Amino acid sequence: MSTIAEVSDVATTGFSREGVAVISRAHRETGASREARMRAWELFESLPMPQRTDEEWRRTDLRGLKLDRLRPTAGVEAAGVSPLSGLEEAGVENAAAQIALGPNAGVIVQRDAATILATLDAEVAAQGVIFTDLATAYREHADLVERYFMTQAVLPSMGKFQALHAAFWQGGSFLYVPRGVKVEAPFRAFSLISEPGAAVFSHTLVVLEEGAQAFVADAYRSPSQDVQSFASAVVELIVGQDARLRYVQVQDWGRDVWNFMTERAILGQDATLNSLHVTLGAKFSKSSIAAHLRGKNTLAEMLGIYFADGDQFFDHHTWQLHESPFGTSDLEFKGALKGNARSVYSGLIKVDEGAQKTDAYQQNRNLILSRTARADSIPNLEIAANDVRCTHGATVSQVEEEHLFYLQTRGLPRSEAQNLIVEGFFRPIIDRVPVEEIQHFLETAIARKVGI
């Protein structure tokens, strides 16, 4: 457990080798985990900052990001905050309402990297399931965590921000479901930022063994503040042979947050992944999402909803990576924009030479609600096999005044008419998520964004 002095040291050292060392000591790390952090920091220092000449960053402007003004941690469990008071101050009830607590298999709530609530259903635990914060998992299940943590799905060498995450990660959750165990109730994790100028590095690591089944929901939330904050999330999903995972992520950071998220899923033979990404908050959000279909007969369903307003900037890059035959991927990302908001979507379907009988679909559609909003959509195909079915589509369109007028003539105020059109635009994705509480959340969030 860390000391208050160590927390102060972290705040003053910022992003530096000394800061990495203090965080490592605060988590009582030794050996491999400590060395991995230091190697990641050295890698971060050696890698250049992304440039506009890099294809993935061509439409992304990082000049407003002030890393030197951020604190790599803003609070830990031993810094004098009791779990109960932390729970109340963090407004956990409001955050949880995003996807509703309801019945669950386990819940983890973290504020500024400190765990203030962690539960796991006793019957689920009795089946050998592990669900805890990542720091605890590293201490109590080191061999298991080190086997997967940033070694197979997301690597520090992938880029400068991934290396920074590997050096400074704090918080996050670890879920392990043993072979053949099926858990119907969801595992829920909430990451909250409460301190101005905080830099948080939440990490989700999910490992499903052969024949296992689980439902994981991540939610990120914070109030909007006057000082720039920073969030760097990494999500690693290891879905074993014949396993099935449903993963839902809701990003609703405050308007001061610069958000970077990297997600990689690895699917074994006959594995299934159903994912949904909801992007609503942050001033700047860049998400990199990929599914590696490494086994035969795999299925990856990748859904996304984003709604930007004001001066928000959302950038989504997706990869459907078919590495074995008979794989199916189905991606549908839809976005709405209003005000001066801007979005970028770039997706790649890549089929390796041996991945015959691949069936891949990619669709990105954007609805523009103001004259000053802008959406860029760039679909891509890279196919090295000759017996595949790969299709993609992209659209950017405005709400037709004629449609609004039609609804208004039937007694609907203009705002309600627009909300009805926007909800209808998103409805095909909402209906593909067979979880009533998530459907209700999406409907409410859309109405809020429209201005109802």
CB atoms within 10 A of CB 341: 24
Query: Angle, to 10 degrees, between the axis of helix 160-168 and the axis of helix 17-26?
Result: 40
Residue where one domain finishes, among candidates 261, 295, 329: 295
What is the domain extent for residue 421? 401-452
What is the per-residue pLDDT for 33? 85
Residue where one domain finishes, among candidates 276, 295, 314: 295
350 domain-assigned:
no
CB neighbours of 154 closer than 8 A, spacing ≥ 6? 162, 234, 235, 236, 262, 263, 264
Residues 414 and 288 in one domain: no
94 domain-assigned:
yes
What is the per-residue pLDDT for 248? 96
Residue where one domain finishes, among candidates 295, 317, 344: 295
421 domain-assigned:
yes
Residues 62 and 181 in one domain: yes
Q: Provide the whole-model pTM.
A: 0.91
236 domain-assigned:
yes
What is the per-residue pLDDT for 73? 65
Residues 438 and 289 in one domain: no
What is the per-residue pLDDT for 7? 38
Residues 289 and 412 in one domain: no
Residues 407 and 291 in one domain: no
Query: Alpha-carbon distance 283 to 305, whole Å?
Result: 17
The residue type of 149 is: F
What is the per-residue pLDDT for 255? 95
Of 146, 158, 176, residue with least CA distance to 237: 176
Of 373, 276, 282, 273, residue with least CA distance to 334: 276
What is the per-residue pLDDT for 452? 55
Splitting the chain (452 residues) into consecutive groups of 10 residues, what average pLDDT does each group show?
39 76 83 89 95 90 91 54 45 47 84 89 97 93 94 95 95 96 96 91 97 96 92 97 97 96 98 97 98 97 97 98 97 97 97 96 96 95 95 90 80 83 92 89 90 68
Q: What is the 3-state secondary structure (H, E, C) of the chain?
A: CCCHHHHHHHHHHCCCHHHHHHHHHHCCCCCHHHHHHHHHHHHHHHCCCCCCCCHHHCCCCCCCCCHHHCECCCCCCCCCCCHHHHHHHCCHHHHHCCCCCCCCCEEEEEECCEEEEEEECHHHHCCCCEEEEHHHHHHHCHHHHHHHCCCCCCCHHHCHHHHHHHHHCCCCEEEEECCCCECCCCEEEEEECCCCCEEECCEEEEEECCCCEEEEEEEEECCCCCCCEEEEEEEEEEECCCCEEEEEEEEECCCCEEEEEEEEEEECCCCEEEEEEEECCCCEEEEEEEEEECCCCCEEEEEEEEEECCCCEEEEEEEEEECCCCCEEEEEEEEEECCCCEEEEEEEEEECCCCCCCEEEEEEEEEECCCCCEEEEEEEEEECCCCCEEEEEEEEEECCHHHHHHHHCCCCCHHHHHHHHHHHHHHHHHHCCCCHHHHHHHHHHHHHHHCC
Residues 14 and 145 in one domain: yes
The residue type of 70 is: L
Residues 426 and 284 in one domain: no
56 domain-assigned:
yes
What is the per-residue pLDDT for 9? 43
What is the per-residue pLDDT for 87? 45
- Are 194 and 111 spatial neighbours (Cβ–Cβ below 8 Å)? yes
199 domain-assigned:
yes
344 domain-assigned:
no
359 domain-assigned:
no
Total number of domains in the chain: 2
- Are 230 and 262 spatial neighbours (Cβ–Cβ below 8 Å)? no
Residues 290 and 409 in one domain: no
